Amino acid sequence: MSLVRRRTDLPTTSDATSRFVPLLIALMVFLAVMALSGLMVLHGLAGRWERDIRGTLTVQVPAVISGPEAEARSHAKVEAALNILSDTRGVLHAEPLGRDRIISLLEPWLGSADLIAELPLPRLIDVTTDPHIAIDIKALAARLEAVQPGATVEDHRIWLGRLLRLTRSVEMLAVLVLGLVGVITSATVIFATRTGMAIHHQVIEVLHLIGAQDDYIARQFARRTFLMGLKGGVIGLGLGIGAIFSFGFMARSLEGGVLPEFWLTPAHWLAVVSLPLAAAWIATLTARIAVLRALARMT
Amino acid sequence: MSARLPPSFDHVMRFESVGLRYGQRPEVLEDIRLDLKPGSFHFLTGASGAGKSSLLRLMYLGQRPTRGLITLFGQDVATLPRSKLPALRRRIGVVFQDFHLLDHMSAVDNVALPLRVAGVSESEIKKHVPELLSWVGLADHLNAKPPVLSGGQKQRVAIARAVIARPDLLLADEPTGNVDDTLATRLLYLFEELNKLGTTVVIATHNEGLIKSFAHSRLHLERGRLVDPPPFKEG
């Protein structure tokens, strides 16, 4: 017998649980959509950051800001640093960033480009390293410092490590939220099923006495719960998708990418839209088990 | 439809020293011994509170005895796995005193319930259920729900539901309590027809007139004990 067969022996629309359960499952699915999409976006983002930053260093050389031929002296300092880098094993490529590029990188944070141009900006060298060769960053920094006092090496791995740790923590939190959503959904369905069984006690008793197998009665409740779960799940999904689009729109409207781009891949969308079905399935299974256990206690 | 009893069965139901009590109260049924032969017809009589409904409840497996042995269709009910009980219950048709009809279902659906539970096809159900409801005089009320039916009409729906699956054992608690004498006699004839087809029938009733009209054995309860039935009252 199909789970979604239309005929049922239970009055499906006459009790409070038929309104309460879809509402609660809608809320749970909404939370699950937010947690899952957040989890997937963060996971993708962390992976992208790791790929982008692994194998790169930034060398910062203080600029000469006053005195005769300040620009030429600054340039010479950068050239000296480049020579050291080219002699360092594991460095694949080193390229000084142009002043315009530095200004454009700072613009989202500091505002007007004209204002930034007035500032004593250090010179930056973007270094690409061989990810298979470990560079002694401390030794490199010491050599650069010896030739160019004030020069520093920015190893992205340090802050990336911190960022990844933070990201993983948030990811675990999202997984925890998903787990809690599952547990709360199950607990709600157990409560609603027991209430439903109490309300429809007479129907159950009649079915029982005319020889209905426990499975027959459990299927009736399971089907009812599946439909309520699916209804609530679709509502929750709709709200969740609305929230995702709103958040994505807000993230894009903030200038300069202060927030990471919030987008989902087709595979992510597939996972998100399957949440109502997953919720309905959890609810159905829970209701079925709850009914079978309750019936097992009957004569 | 249910299978007929194999000829080797010498009894449909047997009670041996059966007792029933509710909680810590005194026994409502004491030391019940009875043997219902296949195809037999019995009236269950006794004053109100004598234990007729309790005895019927034990018979339709709505209650477990507190002592004694009940054998139904050759199987010890106490030792039978729970999963086997529904199959036994499907061989029993019950007319409950308070009907136990499902208010959200039409008369047709109420009567069809035992067939659906047994997995009978919808085409069979559409063929047999309206026919039986017409026979009990409810042709004009096929789609009516119990709340709009009179007491007598509900009773007839309950009777139709009990007999639709041609049970091996039919138990009825005051099945003619809410109908006039003519219809009561007609319903008793229906029970007799079923009985002729092999169904064992037990009818709990106060209606002495009916019992007199149909010459069948009597099981008489007095204060929870089966005793020899008293003679009918004069007049």
From the list B82, B104, B117, the residue facing A212 with the nearest CB is B117
Q: How confident is the model at residue A55 (pLDDT cuts 50, 70, 90)?
A: confident
- Which residues lie across from B201 on neighbouring strands? B41, B170
- Position B2 scores a pLDDT of 45
Smallest CA-to-CA distance from B93 within B45, B139, B161 is with B161
Per-residue pLDDT at A3: 44
A287 falls within a domain: yes
Answer yes or no: do A120 and A255 share one domain: no
Do A102 and A139 reside in the same domain of the chain? yes
In chain A, which residue's Cα lies nearest the Cα of B63?
A299
Q: Give the helix ranges, DSSP H, for chain A.
A: 17-53, 70-86, 99-110, 113-117, 137-147, 156-199, 201-209, 214-253, 266-273, 275-296
Answer whether residue A56 is part of any domain: no
Residues A213, B86: C-beta atoms closer than 8 Å: yes
Amino acid, single-letter form, for residue A6: R
Mean pLDDT, residues A71-77: 80
Is A11 close to B88, i.e. CB distance below 8 A?
A: no
pLDDT of A256 higher than 90: no
Report strand pairing: A91-96 vs A123-129: antiparallel
Quick check: B114 and A211 CB within 8 A? yes
User: B188 is written with which tokens?
Assistant: 């008793």
For B10, other C-beta atoms within 10 Å of its C-beta total: 10
B233 and chain A: CB distance < 8 Å anywhere? no
Residue B22 to residue B24: CA distance in whole angstroms: 6
- Interface check B148 vs A, CB under 8 A: no
Looking at the complex, report in whole angstroms how far the Cα of residue B145 sits from the nearest Cα belonging to chain A: 13
Inside any domain, residue A44: yes
Query: Is residue A7 situated within a structural domain?
Result: no
Do A223 and A85 have their domain in common? no
Identify whether A3 is part of a domain: no
Q: Between A77 and A292, whose confidence is greater? A: A292
- Same domain? A168 vs A292: yes
Element (H, E) at B184: helix B181-196
A181 is written with which tokens?
Answer: 């959503």
Nearest CA in chain A to B165: A210
- Residues in A closer than 8 angstroms to B92, CB to CB, are 211
- Integer Rg of chain B from CA: 17
Helix, strand or coil for residue B13? strand
Pick left, alpha or beta for residue A68 (phi over 0 → left; psi -120 to 50 → alpha; otherwise beta).
Answer: beta
Q: In this complex, which of A203, A214, A216 lies closest to B102 when CB atoms are compared?
A: A203
Same-domain status, A128 and A41: no
Same domain flag for A267 and A201: yes
pLDDT (tens place) for every residue of chain B, 235 residues total: 444 445 456 889 999 999 999 988 999 999 999 999 999 999 999 988 899 999 999 999 988 899 999 999 999 998 888 888 999 999 999 999 889 999 999 999 999 999 999 999 999 999 999 999 998 889 999 999 999 998 889 989 999 999 999 999 999 998 887 778 887 888 888 889 889 988 999 999 888 888 888 889 999 999 999 999 988 776 5
Q: Of the candidates B82, B88, B104, which has its C-beta nearest A11's C-beta?
A: B104
Q: Both A136 and A213 in a single domain?
A: no
A219 in the same domain as A185: yes
User: B120: distance to nearest CA of chain A, Å?
Assistant: 12
Give the chain B residue nearest A215 (alpha carbons). Answer: B83
3-state SS class at B171: strand
User: Does A296 touch chain B if contact means CB atoms closer than 8 Å?
Assistant: yes
Q: Inform me whether the C-beta atom of residue A204 falls under 8 Å from chain B C-beta atoms.
A: no
Sequence-ordered list of residues with C-beta below 8 angstroms from that of B217, at least 6 positions apart, any chain: B40, B41, B42, B43
How many domains does chain A contain in total? Answer: 2
Give the model confidence (pLDDT) of A206-245 as tens digits: 999 999 999 999 998 899 899 999 999 999 999 999 998 8
A47 and A73 part of one domain: no
Domain boundary assignment for chain B: 13-227
Average confidence (pLDDT) over A87-102: 86
The verdict on residue A11 lying in a domain is no
Q: Which CATH architecture has domain B13-227?
A: 3-Layer(aba) Sandwich (3.40)
- Tell me which residue range forms the domain holding A146: 63-150
Tokens of A115: 């204002």
Handedness of CA B53, B136, B169, B81 (dihedral sign): negative
Of the three residues A122, A150, A178, the one that is the final residue of a domain is A150
Retrieve residue A293's tokens. Answer: 């256990």
Is residue A176 domain-shared with residue A283, that is, in the same domain?
yes
In a domain, A228, yes or no: yes
Whether B94 contacts B155, CB under 8 Å: no
Interface probe, candidates B84, B116, B171, B173, chain A, greatest A C-beta count within 10 A = B116
User: Which residue do the tokens 């911190």 mark?
Assistant: A162
For residue B116, the chain A residues in CB contact (below 8 A) are 7, 9
Asked whether the beta carbons of residue B87 and residue A207 sit closer than 8 angstroms, the reply is: no
- Residue of A209, A219, A224 to mutate when probing chain B, most B C-beta within 10 A: A209
pLDDT, chain A, mean:
84
Torsions phi, psi of B11, nearest 5? -155, 145
Task: Identify whether A2 is part of a domain.
Answer: no
Answer whether 0.90 is exceeded by the pTM.
no
